[in-house]
Amino acid sequence: MLGFFLFLFTVARVPHYPVIAAITLYALSTRRKSIENGYNKNKNFMINILLFLVFITFNSIIYGFITGNFQIPNFYLLPFCLICALSLNEQDIKIFFLCLAIECFFGFYEYSLGITTILPGGNLQEFSSDEMLYDKRAFGLSTNSSAFAAKLLFAFFVLIQFKDIVSKRIWIVLCLSFLGGMFVSFNRTIIVVFVFFIICIYFNKIKNLFKKNKLIAFSIVMVISFLFVYIITKEGSEIYRQFNRGSDEELYLSGRPIIWEAFFDFISNHLLMGNGSAHLLVPYYSGPIHAHNSFIQLIADHGIPLSIYFLIVIFSKVNRKNIIVCISIFIASMVQYEIFWGFSATDVFFYAFLLNSKFLNRKIVV
């Protein structure tokens, strides 16, 4: 049930706060022991998070008195996020995978119709190009293609680690469904990070293969090298063009430099308190917009001192068991607003990889 509630939270136009309340009440009533064990194993982390919440409360109050603009910090949702992260188990993961696989088929259907979404009241648009994959992005059941793709990336992080909880046939079906979802949602950042994650996962296997069969291992490395060279040369320019929205020139970042400049201007004038720990949006031609970078958003919201404190707390839980997943998440978060929302499905899985023993004590199977 928790896996279903967590997926429901990601569906477009579903009200968030009632779902968060349902998740929290369900977790507290059925997973109290898991939550208590998780708290006891991560007591220092939890104490520091509590202190951080106290600090952002003072930050919000002081900033509100100075500016006359009182806002409620979205990080007040963090305790509910941690409760969910500590409660997740294998059954929840299976349900979440099933729901996401169903969403992928909705995405395939939208892609076949040439529209972004079939949900009533959603941001329905017809695909604007027959050539560029970037202009043909399905939303699935999500608010946009980026949210759809982010779920798929985190699902792969979990799917690789929990390979043994489903049969091999189902695992293959899930992999193919999620890969197809990545194609029809075509988020460039997510695809690049996914490739990076897979390379890291299989690096040790290839390294061990060199000890057993150098010829096979060398052949695999040569094929990967050839594909890489092909992509960055003229012969593979079509692949580059697809990832660069049809341009052969410098990398196209979809307005991010303009957005980041606006955030940097704000940060330079609010180094200590940020936006009073409230969620900052800057003006943009399409409307107010977030930073498209989790770390810039964090600093803009809370200021430099509190952001550094929070990041130190987070980085303290990165270890050899979760480092590949964490690095992949951090890379994605440099050009997408993936984590540090307060409460989101991606945040829940991120904190699960940091704190939940069911995630940390599993050996990645490849």
> Rounded to an integer, what distance in angstroms lies between the CA atom of residue 204 and that of residue 327?
16
Could you say which DSSP state residue 164 is in? G
- The 8-class DSSP code of residue 155 comes to H
pLDDT reported for residue 219? 64
- Structural contact between residues 281 and 289, judged by C-beta atoms closer than 8 angstroms: yes
- Contacts for 90 with CB less than 8 Å, ≥ 6 apart: 162, 165, 358
How many residues in total does the chain contain?
A: 366
How many whole angstroms separate alpha carbon 31 and alpha carbon 274? 36
State the pLDDT confidence band at 6, using cuts at 50, 70 and 90: very high
Maximal C-alpha separation, the chain: 69
Distances (CA, A) of 80 to 25, 330, 344: 10, 22, 10
For residue 348, give both structure tokens.
């829940």
CB-based burial, 72-96: b 16+ in 10 Å, e otherwise: ebbbebbbbbbbbbbbbeeebbbbb
Q: Quote the CA–CA distance of 42 and 311 in Å, as a whole number.
A: 16
Minimum mean pLDDT range among 187-196, 197-206, 325-334, 350-359: 197-206
Q: What is the pTM of this model?
A: 0.87
Q: Rounded to 5 degrees, what angle do the CA atoms 320, 321, 326 make?
A: 85
Considering 144-148, 307-311, 324-328, the range whose residues carry the highest mean pLDDT is 307-311
Give the CB-side neighbour count of residue 37, counting CA atoms within 13 A: 11
pLDDT tens digit sequence for 196-237: 888 887 776 666 666 666 566 556 666 666 665 555 554 446
Q: Is 117 helix (H, G, I), strand (E, B) or coil?
A: coil
Dihedral through CA 114, CA 119, CA 122, CA 128, nearest 10?
0
Q: Quote the pLDDT of residue 330.
A: 92
Q: How far apart are CA 338 and CA 119, in angstroms?
A: 23
d(CA 89, CA 91): 6
Distance CA 116, CA 118 (A): 7
Give the Cα separation of 296 and 272 in Å (integer): 14
For residue 109, what are its two tokens? 């259907």
Residue ranges of E strands in 58-216: none
Instruction: Supply the Cα-derived Rg of the chain in whole angstroms.
Output: 21
Give the bridge partners for 126, in sequence order.
115
* Tens of pLDDT, residues 231-288: 555 444 656 565 555 555 555 566 788 898 999 999 999 999 999 999 999 888 777 8
Q: Is 273 helix (H, G, I), strand (E, B) or coil?
A: coil
Residues 6+ apart with CB under 8 A from 339: 294, 329, 333, 346, 347, 350
Residue with tokens 């991606």: 346
